[in-house]
Amino acid sequence: MVDSLDNKPPHQVVIIGGGFGGLYAAKALAKAKVDVTLIDKRNFHLFQPLLYQVATGTLSPADISSPLRSVLSKSKNTKVLLGEVNDIDPKAQQVSLGEQVIPYDTLIVATGAKHSYFGKDNWEEFAPGLKTVEDAIEMRRRIFSAFEAAEKETDPEKRRAWLTFVIVGGGPTGVELAGAIAELAYQTLKEDFRNIDTSEARVLLLEGLDRILPPFAPELSQQAEASLEKLGVVVQTKTLVTNIENDVVTLKQGDEVKEIAAKTVLWAAGVKASPMGKVLAERTGAECDRAGRVMVEPDLSIKGYPNIHVVGDLANFSHQNGKPLPGVAPVAMQEGEYVATLIKQKLKGKTLSAFKYSDRGSLAMIGQNLAVVDLGFMKLKGFFAWIFWLLIHIYFLIEFDNKLIVMIQWAWNYVTRKRGARLITGQESLRTVENSQYYKASDTRQPVNV
């Protein structure tokens, strides 16, 4: 016990955000001689890559969430604090949560990103995005309510609008949502309605670039497109959305302008950094990119502030190949772990070479037995890619009990093609279908008593 000889209080590490970046940093510091305080607005870590399965009725929120306290209960040097940081004072080295002030020696900011409507914030009410558990429950409510409304609708045109699902954005989330909704309409729900034929539903996936899944190799994009179309999804590339309003999506394809009547529009396009980026910029003079991400140094610190690190979706790390690293879970995990190692090295008086992201590949689920996996040195598609996707996601689910439950849910869904979590719930769902205004935004105008 050499330590006990010096009486300095332990080095204080404060982490803001319990997503992949923050949580992996905290876990990697579990046995270090530091005090860690992890601050999050929510009391759980959310496994975001599977959120689309909550939105489409396969899994429950708790299946892909782990209580932060429970994940970190064995890290005796770590405190979890539920709350929202509203300011950072880099001179005094402290963060504030309302009245409460927490001092730090090293700060790790990992507050992530939220969806962005490229300045058209009024689109959100018509086309919700998918970042939180509440977002997923809202998407689920809209998807299943649309089938219910179609079942009741007698006007064929309106019925068609209820049965039209438009997904904006052809990245992994958009592809996964489109595939899952197609499976719902063409397989899962087929026997369940009496007035409508759910296989008349249209699922449209819109992408501005010339191919879906732009981070993947072009041949996999093609594979994914072919697989989606086999499932029944209509994929439209080189398609710009110019307006979303009153159940109509306006598109531009080249010079042609089209309107699509659709009651359910889901947003899987842009993201922007969380507001903490702006706070950091104001307080430290850090530069931000157009998406609001904070430009970081090769060691993920902020220029001039070697004890403030930014990791995950909030960081713009462009030192590897000139382009910012993508906003995906593996980047956040590796950045979080890097900063933890850096702190430990510094405490030993050592240094650490610059952060380097080790890209192990990209993967996207399309549907039953269908996925695409790009490992760089190897490309997989179809059944083997699908198995690979399952194994990777199961492996990374933080807590073992979630893994087991998710595996069984998946196995069950695979065999029966059923989806048990098709609940229409939430405040909004408590109005009757007749009387409800369909969009969440109305909640703020006419609140309901439950």
Q: Which residues are catalytic?
A: 176
Which residue in the set 27, 115, 293, 440 belongs to the binding site for its own copies (CB under 8 A)? 440
Do the beta carbons of residue 278 and residue 272 sit within 8 Å? no
- Which residues are paired to 252 by β-bridges? 240, 257
Could you say which residues in the range 107-136 bind its own copies, by CB under 8 A? 132-135
Give the type of residue at 160.
Answer: R
Which residue in the set 10, 30, 41, 410 belongs to the binding site for its own copies (CB under 8 A)? 41
DSSP 154-212: -SHHHHHHHTEEEEE--SHHHHHHHHHHHHIIIIITTTT-SS--GGG-EEEEE-SSSSS
Q: What are phi and psi of 155, to 5 degrees?
A: -75, 120
Is 105 a binding residue for its own copies by CB under 8 A? The answer is no
Q: What are phi and psi of 320, to 5 degrees?
A: -90, -50
How many residues interact with its own copies (rule CB under 8 A)? 74
Q: Which residue has the tokens 């300045």?
A: 119
Is 151 a binding residue for its own copies by CB under 8 A? The answer is yes
What is the nearest approach in angstroms of its own copies to the Cβ of residue 194?
A: 5
Site string for its own copies, 308-327 (x = CB under 8 A): --------------------
What is the nearest approach in angstroms of its own copies to the Cβ of residue 146?
A: 12
Do the beta carbons of residue 268 and residue 135 sit within 8 Å? no
Stretch that binds its own copies, among 66-74, 157-165, 268-276, 348-356 (CB under 8 A): 66-74
Is 10 a binding residue for its own copies by CB under 8 A? The answer is no
Is 211 a binding residue for its own copies by CB under 8 A? The answer is no
Could you say which residues in the range 69-88 bind its own copies, by CB under 8 A? 69-70, 73-74, 79-84
Which residue in the set 31, 33, 43, 218 belongs to the binding site for its own copies (CB under 8 A)? 43
What is the nearest approach in angstroms of its own copies to the Cβ of residue 130?
A: 12
Do the beta carbons of residue 299 and residue 285 sit within 8 Å? no
Specify the residue, 383 or 414, whose C-beta has the smaller distance to its own copies.
Answer: 414
What is the nearest approach in angstroms of its own copies to the Cβ of residue 12?
A: 14
What is the nearest approach in angstroms of its own copies to the Cβ of residue 17?
A: 14
Specify the residue, 98 or 218, whose C-beta has the smaller distance to its own copies.
Answer: 98
How many CB atoms lie under 10 A from the CB of residue 228? 23
Specify the residue, 152 or 238, whose C-beta has the smaller distance to its own copies.
Answer: 152
Could you say which residues in the range 362-391 bind its own copies, by CB under 8 A? none
Is 214 a binding residue for its own copies by CB under 8 A? The answer is no
Could you say which residues in the range 184-203 bind its own copies, by CB under 8 A? 189, 191-195
> What is the token pair recorded at 440?
């969440």
CA distance 94 to 108: 12
Q: Which residue has the tokens 């190692």?
A: 341
Which residue in the set 258, 356, 417, 418 belongs to the binding site for its own copies (CB under 8 A)? 418
Specify the residue, 132 or 284, whose C-beta has the smaller distance to its own copies.
Answer: 132
Beta strand 87-89 with 78-82 is: unpaired
Do the beta carbons of residue 173 and residue 210 sit within 8 Å? no
Specify the residue, 320 or 429, whose C-beta has the smaller distance to its own copies.
Answer: 429
By CB atoms closer than 10 A (0-12, 13-18, 19+), residue 129 is buried
Cα end-to-end distance, the chain, whole Å: 58
- Which residues are paired to 89 by β-bridges? 94
Do the beta carbons of residue 205 and residue 228 sit within 8 Å? yes
Stretch that binds its own copies, among 211-219, 261-269, 356-364, 402-410 (CB under 8 A): 402-410
Specify the residue, 294 or 398, whose C-beta has the smaller distance to its own copies.
Answer: 398
